[in-house]
Structure 1
């Protein structure tokens, strides 16, 4: 679950970066490319969020086992 949260945060950062580059780009092709990349990352982030929300929280035994490894 922690890995998925970390990946979600990375996707959110990439969305912001793509939108920033899109807004600063003077070339229309680059502006379009980074707009599409931002939208694609938004779709990926939504999928990760959905996967996180459908996972059951780890039990106390699972957490203990993870800490020991």
Structure 2
């Protein structure tokens, strides 16, 4: 479970970094869109992982 939480935190950090690059550091519109899309995809993966962690906790509490 600890490994899953570590990966979740990493995904969230990477999503925020991509969002920051998109907002502040991307040189042109296509790069802004690319990093915004990467951020969105990473957040989607983080959401799925959060659900898996919750389901695993629910299962172990039975």
State if a TM-score over 0.5 links the two structures: yes
Q: How far off is 1:47 after superposition?
A: 0.3
Report the TM-score when normalising by structure 1. Answer: 0.78
Equivalence for 1:42: 43
Gaps of 5+ in 2: none
1:27 equivalent to 2:22? Answer no
The alignment yields a C-alpha RMSD, in angstroms, of 1.6
TM-score, L = length of structure 2: 0.86
Report the count of equivalent residues: 59
- The 4+ residue runs of structure 1 with deviation greater than 4 A are none
Say which one has the larger Rg: 1
The runs of 5 or more residues in structure 1 that have no matched partner are 60-69
Distance 1:56 1:39 in 2: 26
Q: Indicate the structure with greater helix content.
A: 2
